[in-house]
Amino acid sequence: GLALGLWRRQVALAAAREDEEEKELRQRFMAPPVSGLRELRRRRRELRSRMELLIMETQAEVCRALTALDPGASFAVDSWERKEGGGGISCVLQDGDVFEKAGVNVSVVSGLLSEEAARQMRSRGKSLKAKDGKLPFCAMGVSSVIHPKNPHVPTMHFNYRYFEIEEADGTKQWWFGGGTDLTPTYLNEEDAVHFHKTLKEACDKHDPKLYPKYKKWCDDYFYIKHRGERRGIGGIFFDDMDSPSKEEVFQFVKSCAKAVVPCYIPIVKKHCHDSFTPEEKLWQQLRRGRYVEFNLVYDRGTKFGLLTPGSRIESILMSLPLTARWEYMHTPLESSKEAEILEVLRNPKDWAH
């Protein structure tokens, strides 16, 4: 009887501990995770679960940091399901005093890769062996775009994701991708240095060769070919990262995700009360037009989302600003502040050294 009583007490204690843990996790996140807390806890040693917890934590961290700067505004939290498998949580703030539009999305989806998505991956050198034309996949990530009202506060984007594909013979291919980049309307060299140095520190913890490699990749990736300029002043960007080991890449991605708030929030704090003119606001609107052009014409994530059956269009197009402008043949005056940023967008600089 004594042994049974002890066992019952242990079971009750374990259950209470689990409930406590669940409550704590619930408070930490913006919404319950797509895979459910119990399932995540049950598989907590698996990388897929750890990645889902990381993207949930990153979403909550960023949303809280933004709300602290714009207390009059709040995030609409929208959990959605995808009938083909999985779902996501979209957190969007609109028309605040500081942020015109800020979105922080999490998605955890699974199912069968569409033919077009598989084609896009094969074009990047992936050899994917399908079974009866079917490729089961699992993809998850956190993605955010923040468009501030003030033209002296830059737009910021980040995205960190994990992908897994099961081939015909049962082998799994996996890789991570992601990045963080800054798109100022006006150039502030001190901000550019702070942003890049913070990202460089996160990369250097793992390997000093990573930052220069991923900084160049970012400059090359966010290139608007038809305009001959980059979308912004860059940051870091990488894809298809599958070595040295799953654990090491995960730790690297974690460091990058943890650098998002410290690389950006101090810049917002510094400039969100700067005064600006109608002309400066107009220039911001024109630069936003370029942002839209890049996202709709070139961005791989947007393309993948639009090609994935059952994907949620509202969440994919969350990256687009609330307002933007396209003027015919607009050219800034020589030696103006507007011409200064264009020069940097055409010829990227090394900010971290």
Give catalytic residues, as residue numbers: 157
Name the burial class of residue 304, with classes exposed (0-12), middle (13-18) and buried (19+) by CB atoms within 10 angstroms of its CB: buried
C-alpha closest to that of 89 among 59, 53, 51, 54: 59
- Do residues 85 and 35 make contact, with C-beta atoms less than 8 angstroms apart? no
- What CA–CA distance (Å, rounded) separates 248 from 227? 38
| CA 5 from centroid of its chain's CA atoms | 50
* CB atoms closer than 10 angstroms to residue 31: 17
The torsion defined by the Cα of 279, 284, 290 and 293, in degrees rounded to 10, comes to -110
Q: How many CA atoms lie within 13 A of 237 on its CB side?
A: 19
Residue at 26: amino acid letter:
R
Whose tokens are 């015909």? That residue is 168
CA angle 61, 64, 66 (to 5 degrees): 110
- Which residues fall within 8 angstroms of residue 25, CB to CB, at 6 or more apart? 37
Please state the φ and ψ torsions of residue 74, each to the nearest 5 degrees.
Answer: -145, 160
Q: Which amino acid is at 107?
A: S
In contact, 148 and 157? CB cutoff 8 Å: no
Q: Is 32 left (phi over 0), alpha (psi -120 to 50) or beta?
A: beta
Beta bridge partners of 172: 166
Distance CA 140, CA 110 (A): 9
